[in-house]
Amino acid sequence: MRRGDRLPPVWVAAGAIDDPRGLLRFGDLGSVLVPVGPVVGGPGGGRSAQVHGMGPGGVEHDEAPGIGLVEAVDRLRWCATRDLRAVLAVRGTTPGEPATLAGRLCRGLEGDAVAAVEVDLRGADDQHCLRVLARVREETPRDLLLLAPLSALQPDLVGCARGAVAGGAGAVVVCGSVPLGGGRWWAGSSTAATSRAGVRTLAQAADEQRWPAVPLVAAGGVHDAPSAGAVLREGARAVQLGTALWADPTLLWAVLDDLTGTERPGARPDDQEDHG
């Protein structure tokens, strides 16, 4: 996918869903972008994020430990053989590491499956955002869409977005997850207001020309069509679903159908269930 292309309305969030094979049995993934990663240097954690507890509307979980290059190649190959488009999420401990990882995977035989590269910049400052994305821009194919996930709770959200765009980001992902310290995050439907606030802040700043606006993707708290619609009205161009799919994987298609205006037989029948 090239920078400036129209974004698909619904994406699957990397980190929450680290293996899209589980989703495929519930429906067609051809119209969504599926995540691969986060890819890290070294062998990777070889596992998904550990969930430590849950409460009303959210779960407390570790940061996804990431997968190694070999596992990432396997998953990109899986996407390529099914004609799926992947968002390659990369993460590094140095400014150059995400670029190295993204470059190697995009240049590989499975690189055609990469529709976008996402570099986790939550908690970074504006200069770090600029440096990291500029390096990724150099290592990846020209015009490939780069995504910059930023935390809606970052102190200088607008400055970070400005730095990310200056570095080459074609879209900014506004994450509503709440950092709990120690590598833990709070995520779930209870964070919807946080991501909406982040989107609102960036949209307003764009109106005031405080940063060169690029499309915004809302991640965090989107759990049904109304919550997706609410964040789109704030200025987001697309939504990412993550932990909501743990509760109900079919929400992906319910939200997609609603946003694209598709009528499918047997859409999510909430009204058919009795909640005692």
Partner 1 sequence: MTDRGSGGPVRTAVVTLARAAGAYDVVSLAVPAAPGWASARPGQLLVLPGSPARGEVLPRLLWLADVTVDPVHGTAVEVAVPAGAGWEVGRRLRLVGPLGRGFGVPTDPVPALVVGHGGSTVPLRWLTSRLRARGCPVHLVLSAPEPDGLFEVAALRRQAASVRLTTEQDLARVTLEVLEQEPRVGVVYAAGPRGPVRQVAQVAVGAGRPVRVSALDLDEPLLCGTGLCGQCDLRPAGPGGPRPLRPCLEGPVVPGEQVLDAAR
Within 8 A by CB and 6+ apart from 155, the residues are none
> Near partner 1 by CB under 8 A, which window of 56-64, 143-151, 152-160, 207-215?
56-64
Total residues at the site for partner 1 (CB under 8 A)?
55
**% helix / strand / coil in the chain, to the nearest 5?**
35, 25, 40
Taking the chain, what is the end-to-end CA distance rounded to the nearest angstrom? Answer: 46
Give dist(CA 188, CA 22) in Å, integer. Answer: 19
Of the pair 215, 242, the CB lying nearest partner 1 is at: 242
Q: Which helix (H) or strand (E) holds 192?
A: helix 192-207
Query: Which of residues 41, 57, 96, 229 is near partner 1 by CB under 8 A?
Result: 57
Of the pair 140, 191, the CB lying nearest partner 1 is at: 191
Of the pair 27, 41, the CB lying nearest partner 1 is at: 27
Smallest separation (angstroms) from partner 1 to the CB of 17: 5
Of the pair 109, 247, the CB lying nearest partner 1 is at: 247
Q: Footprint of partner 1 on residues 151-210 (CB under 8 A)?
A: 188-190
Within 8 A by CB and 6+ apart from 270, the residues are none
Q: Footprint of partner 1 on residues 208-237 (CB under 8 A)?
A: 223-224, 226-227
Is 273 a binder of partner 1 (CB under 8 A)?
A: yes
- 126-139 and 157-167 are packed helices; what angle lies between their axes, rounded to 10 degrees? 20
Is 108 a binder of partner 1 (CB under 8 A)?
A: no
Contact 152, 180 (CB under 8 A): no
Within 8 A by CB and 6+ apart from 43, the residues are 68, 70
**Token pair belonging to 58:** 């959210």
Smallest separation (angstroms) from partner 1 to the CB of 52: 8
Show the binding pattern over residues 252-271: x = contacts partner 1 (CB under 8 A), - = does not.
-xx--x------xxxxxxx-
Among residues 133, 86, 83, the alpha carbon closest in space to that of 105 is found at 86
Positions touching partner 1 (CB under 8 A) are 16-19, 21-23, 25-27, 43, 46-51, 53-54, 56-59, 71, 188-190, 223-224, 226-227, 243-251, 253-254, 257, 264-270, 272-276
